[in-house]
A and B are shown apart, each in its own frame.
Chain A
Amino acid sequence: MDTTQLLKGVLDVAVLAVLEKQDSYGYDVVRRLREAGLDQVGDASIYGTLRRLYRAGTLTSYVVPSEEGPHRKYYGINATGRAVLAESVKTWASFAQTMNQVLHLEREV
């Protein structure tokens, strides 16, 4: 199965989770997701997801001047975002459990 398609569905949760730990700008989010192992998601997908989450009202944003490069637009999670994330985590956990059962992977969990 194409992991890219699979990842797209959970990208919202992943981005929210990254921002819950720490406010971050676009490319930093890309980098942190990569480090966490989500290296098959395209940069543009992550940037697009950030924009959409912001438009949906789950993120705050502010600009931080930078000395060596361009000014960076930072994103942070707000109350709405936290609620969405909590809900998504629950959904994901139960979904993952169901999938593990379906695929007979219980022992490995």
Chain B
Amino acid sequence: MTESDVNDITSYAAAVRVALSEVPPEEREELLEDLENHLSEVAAESGAPLTQRLGSPEDYARELRAAYGTSAQGSWRAGAWQIRVADAWSWIVSQPIYRPVRSFLLDLRPGWWVLRGYLAVMLLWNMLVGAPVGLVSDPFRLRNILWLIAVPTVIWGSVYLGRRSRAFPRGWSGVVAAVNVVVALLVLPGVAELSTQVPYYGPPQNGNVGTVAAPQNKDSFEVAVALGNIFPYSQDHKPLNDVLLYDQDGRAIVLTPLSGETEPNYPMGADRRLIKNIYPLPQAASAPKVSLMPSAPAKASPAHHAETLPDSNLANNSENSTSREERLGQSYGITNIFAYSKEGKNLEGVRLYDQDGEAIVLDNRSVTSGEISYRTGPDGLPIKNFYPLLQQDAPPRVAFPPFLAPTLETSPTK
């Protein structure tokens, strides 16, 4: 044997050892026991390089291992993590609970086929139309008719695919599994969000429900008050439009229609939810009887600062209607009212009147907790419908951003 033969053997053997480095040490020792002997026999037989007779060291290692029957079957080299995954899987399969759980899940498959079809439509709908769709949508609009056609069609397709999935070649079942996972991951959070949105009819949130969930009064996001309408006025007695009202906890203040009145035409936000706490409400039927309003503020001097607003007349007026206003506070737990412009700006010094021109007042007798303190006019009398009331400096304690889309006032129609 020549020196070059020895070098050839040494380097070939070293390469084989490297290729087998992932094999557990015990097995590797056994496998490599005869390696040098083998190589020198081959070299002694012919002068040709080892790679010519035996192939590459990597091939040699793969073949050796495959014939020996380690976990790798020779067609691919299993890395350490792949072996661990395989071990973990075989452990799972060996558990007694595995079979019943598996057969239970197999029983559930038709349900999943239907669900994933529905979810796929939701996903596509949100991507293509860009608007969230509720679990049940209004069937009297054209796009919703499309929705009603799409849902059963895609569900049928999904079930068809599911029933035929066994006939798919190997590669396809992987693709189907991947699509399943994508649909589930993308849509399930959306479904969870939908379910949190259902009871909520408050201010538009640009779809950001998470920040609304903050009100301390957890039982609702809105306070429904039995009044016909609310008319906000500025400090200098100009009627204001598009003012959003919230209570001290950031709950939207929503009016329940008085008996005999139809539901107002609430504007719709960019998130396609009705905005019910924007005032004055657009009432088709009843024109507000605010005759009192222009006359009373007219006596006031617009130049006055808010705290020095002379307004005994209105304060007195409000006294006349306290019976109703008391109920307002008591029944609904409202201790303060905060007004926002539709641009989301907190408005200071807003005066609120109802549809009869009567001041909307909260007073101490009407609340079970908290304290009411009014601003006083120059005559020393309190101005009771001047909001927000003094007892609370900071606008709502809750993170309640009334972010509004630019196209608030018109419901986007298609």
Contacts and interface: CB of A to CB of B under 8 A. Distances in A.
Interface of A: 8, 11, 25-27, 42-49, 51-52, 55, 69-70, 72-73
A57 B36 CA distance: 24
B170 to A, nearest CB: 19
Contacts of A27: 37-38, 41-42
A52 B65 CA distance: 10
Nearest to B66: A48
B30 A45 contact: no
A64 to B, nearest CB: 12
Interface in B47-76: 53-55, 59-61, 63-69
A44 B69 contact: no
Given A48-B31, A52-B68, A42 B63 contact: yes
Contact of A8 (B54, B55, B67): B67
Interface centre among B33, B44, B61, B64 (most CB of A within 10 A): B64
A58 to B, nearest CB: 13
A48 B38 contact: no
B34 A73 contact: yes
Interface string B239-253: 000000000000000
How many chain B residues sit at the interface, stated as a range, is 20 to 34
A100 B69 CA distance: 29
Nearest to B69: A52
A49 B65 CA distance: 9
B66 A43 contact: no
A23 to B, nearest CB: 15
A40 B40 CA distance: 21
B25 to A, nearest CB: 15
A47 B61 CA distance: 11
Contacts of A52: 67-69
Contacts of A25: 37
Given A26-B34, A26-B37, A55-B30, A49 B67 contact: yes
Given A27-B42, A42-B54, A48 B68 contact: yes
Contacts of B42: 27, 43
A82 B33 CA distance: 25
A11 B68 CA distance: 12
A43 B40 contact: no
Contacts of A48: 31, 63-69
Given A69-B37, A69-B44, 14 more contacts: A26-B34, A27-B37, A42-B63, A43-B53, A43-B54, A43-B60, A44-B61, A47-B38, A48-B64, A48-B65, A49-B67, A52-B69, A70-B37, A73-B37
B9 to A, nearest CB: 11
Contacts of B59: 42, 44
A72 B37 contact: yes
Contacts of B53: 43
A26 B38 contact: yes
Contacts of B61: 44
Contacts of A43: 38, 42, 53-54, 60
Nearest to B1: A69
Interface centre among B37, B40, B53, B65 (most CB of A within 10 A): B37
B40 A47 contact: no
Contacts of B68: 48-49, 51-52, 55
A69 B37 CA distance: 9
B44 to A, nearest CB: 7
A8 B66 CA distance: 10
Nearest to B61: A44
Given A42-B54, A44-B54, A51-B30, A70 B40 contact: yes
Nearest to A56: B69
